[in-house]
Structure 1
């Protein structure tokens, strides 16, 4: 598989397959697809600063990873064979407490390289020292929605500090004026963020017109603990706090019930399926794709961080998702390859606001070439 950078002036990609048919693609100097068609190479070659012969390769929209923690490339293989809560509290969080901005910069840069090598052009990232992450993304040329992982642990003092950190990040990213980098808010989960914190994030995101990135109903314990503490399931808490919006990406969603799938679809929430991570951490249930699809929900694909996957390859994740759904729900026809590809491309691009994720005139030239 080969990925091409179309950022250095008009680009002509000739001799490729688009939807199975021979075509050429012309990209203008704004990085937008200007023309697709057979024989375009003859009329556009003099206008192109760069010309690429695709040699009959398949042209596809670039992959979009809707849930990851990019800098966790540094934690790959650090903690395996553990339940989620122990994995977080005993291994991941103590180590993350020692990370620096420089660590996050280099970890994110490594993640970008890994994603580029496997055809990913955009990703949704929640972590810490996100101004350093943004610098890495800017240098590597990818698109990203970046959020600070907001964790107040139900402390008023901690909540105020997290609010200020969120405000600083959004101001910094907005000040970059880089269309490839979009700010979002990142409430970690209902078990780490207070209802007051969730409501503040909802109002802030609405006022700033930015996205929301949250973990939701990843494990049975998350749901049962929520019911024990609040007498409410996580979906209801997020709904009451204003977190469920058309700008929201909710990761995992393994333990949704039927009514919650309907609610998420009605609210326009984008779901991020993370099958490899869910299997590694033994969440005990696959995301109910069949219910979400029946309700018309937007379902996308993510890898989670390298510490729980252990890679960022969305081609591998597409296969894993299709196999897991078939096995978990005993349906040979569930999640065919065409739908898995749509999750990893068009659905993800729409969820993050980076075009429609298709190869069409007027769309961003997020193009990858796959050996045919």
Structure 2
């Protein structure tokens, strides 16, 4: 790649520094190739290939979405106001039976476009036809942590196929696209994946030196079924009993936890991905995020799929994380704006082992500029974190940069044809609906 530099002048910088804290300052920032090269006052403009005036902008790390099913963007709104079991069994899975690599590629482009336009630079995905997803990530310029959704329902032949698919993903795509794409194992959950599959996932993840992405403790039914089917063990207790838990596991949802499971998460260094909008929409419950954070557990934020959210806007996720945390504990002081900004950035980067999530020299240049000169951001009367969490939304994002490359500038997508993506997505879902109707 040819060397390039971007100088961002006079930005109000919000830097998450961990432990639920942020710092604010106004400086210039220089990007050289894929990294932040300099942060200082009045950086010399003479050697910059491109200069961006950020006088009315907030500069912060790009969001890290720790749990998505990106191609489900095609299924947005297809089944609303239902509990998880009915939503999955009667609506989502019958539609997914008509997925193809082409449809997943189109759905991934659609979801990636939505994420870039709302400030996300990295996402962690679990789904199917992941070659199509990897192709979309490569083309659009984001950072993707990809896993294949492994489901065997105890059937040996299906289990072998799931490993074939996930290992193929790892061999073909791990550390590709200039390092923007990495791969993991993606056992769907303890209720769709057998103990045999889960035990082998642990061994294979160690063999290939990759992480694991799994749904955990999303609903009360999942807890009760686990206790009934696994000698009284709750889901995290089951995984602990087979040696599955480690500091390379990202557990999505973590809604229904008891004290013993929280201790297992902490003791094993497991990362949690909080998905407040999806959890509320499916009436799954409210995760004990304040308790997890107080125990020193690293919690990131995720949107889940667009069929259970129904958007991929991490600004929404930050606001609802803060509000749900307060409403569920009756404590207005928990999950502060600074804490949820950390969850959406530095915590997610740690969970996914991405060298980004903060505004520091040497870090990957995954950066967004948020337009502060807009009605919903005026007046800026509190901290930057407060304004971003409680006032902003994805449409306030002006510029998105990933790996030192501009993906969107002045709200216009740079790397892809947005109108073509929208047209193709409409065609794809129309065809899938027709195929689904033909089944009935």
**Offset of residue 290 of structure 1:** 2.3
Report the counterpart of residue 279 of structure 1 in structure 2.
280
Whole-angstrom CA distance in 1 between matches of 2:85 and 2:339? 32
**Offset of residue 245 of structure 1:** 1.4
Report the counterpart of residue 15 of structure 1 in structure 2.
10
**Offset of residue 93 of structure 1:** 0.8
Q: TM-score scaled by structure 1?
A: 0.95
**Offset of residue 102 of structure 1:** 0.3
**Offset of residue 268 of structure 1:** 0.8
Report the counterpart of residue 160 of structure 1 in structure 2.
160
**Offset of residue 72 of structure 1:** 0.5
Describe the SS at the equivalent of 2:300: strand
CA contact (8 A) 2:175 2:182 kept: no
Whole-angstrom CA distance in 1 between matches of 2:293 and 2:321? 14
Describe the SS at the equivalent of 2:108: helix
Describe the SS at the equivalent of 2:255: coil
**Offset of residue 174 of structure 1:** 3.0
Whole-angstrom CA distance in 2 between matches of 1:23 and 1:322? 29
**Offset of residue 310 of structure 1:** 0.2
Report the counterpart of residue 129 of structure 2 in structure 1.
129
Unaligned stretches of 5+ residues in structure 2: 15-23, 373-440
Whole-angstrom CA distance in 2 between matches of 1:59 and 1:263? 37
CA contact (8 A) 2:121 2:366 kept: yes
Describe the SS at the equivalent of 1:261: helix
Report the counterpart of residue 335 of structure 2 in structure 1.
335
| Cα distance, 1:175–1:35 mapped onto 2, change above 3 Å | closer
User: 2:115 matched to 1:112?
Assistant: no
CA contact (8 A) 2:60 2:359 kept: yes
User: 2:34 matched to 1:39?
Assistant: no
Describe the SS at the equivalent of 1:308: coil
CA contact (8 A) 1:262 1:292 kept: no
CA contact (8 A) 1:258 1:291 kept: no
Whole-angstrom CA distance in 2 between matches of 1:264 and 1:356? 24
- More divergent stretch after superposition (163-172 vs 216-225): 163-172
CA contact (8 A) 1:249 1:272 kept: yes
| Cα distance, 1:355–1:176 mapped onto 2, change above 3 Å | closer
Output one character per residue of 1:137-196: Cα deviation in whole Å (capped at 9) or x when no partner: 011110010000000011111111111111111111137463000000000000000011
| Cα distance, 1:343–1:100 mapped onto 2, change above 3 Å | same
User: 2:39 matched to 1:26?
Assistant: no
User: 2:252 matched to 1:251?
Assistant: yes
- More divergent stretch after superposition (20-29 vs 248-257): 20-29
Whole-angstrom CA distance in 1 between matches of 2:2 and 2:122? 15
User: 2:154 matched to 1:150?
Assistant: no
Whole-angstrom CA distance in 2 between matches of 1:208 and 1:62? 28
**Offset of residue 7 of structure 1:** 9.1
Describe the SS at the equivalent of 2:245: coil
Alignment of 1:164-243 (within 5 A): 164-174=164-174, 176=176, 178-231=178-231, 232-243=233-244
Whole-angstrom CA distance in 2 between matches of 1:179 and 1:220? 39
Describe the SS at the equivalent of 1:55: coil
Alignment of 1:261-280 (within 5 A): 261-280=262-281
- More divergent stretch after superposition (229-238 vs 133-142): 229-238
- More divergent stretch after superposition (218-227 vs 203-212): 203-212
- More divergent stretch after superposition (94-103 vs 156-165): 156-165
Output one character per residue of 1:329-352: Cα deviation in whole Å (capped at 9) or x when no partner: 111111000000000000001111
Report the counterpart of residue 312 of structure 2 in structure 1.
312
CA contact (8 A) 2:138 2:177 kept: no
Q: TM-score scaled by structure 2?
A: 0.80
CA contact (8 A) 1:11 1:49 kept: yes
Report the counterpart of residue 3 of structure 1 in structure 2.
none
**Offset of residue 294 of structure 1:** 2.1
Whole-angstrom CA distance in 2 between matches of 1:229 and 1:208? 30
Whole-angstrom CA distance in 1 between matches of 2:157 and 2:86? 26
Describe the SS at the equivalent of 2:126: strand
Output one character per residue of 1:190-231: Cα deviation in whole Å (capped at 9) or x when no partner: 000001100111111111111100000000000000101112
CA contact (8 A) 2:255 2:288 kept: yes
Whole-angstrom CA distance in 1 between matches of 2:109 and 2:3? 21
| Cα distance, 1:8–1:97 mapped onto 2, change above 3 Å | farther
Report the counterpart of residue 413 of structure 2 in structure 1.
none
CA contact (8 A) 1:212 1:243 kept: no
Paired positions, count: 362
CA contact (8 A) 1:32 1:361 kept: yes
CA contact (8 A) 2:145 2:182 kept: yes
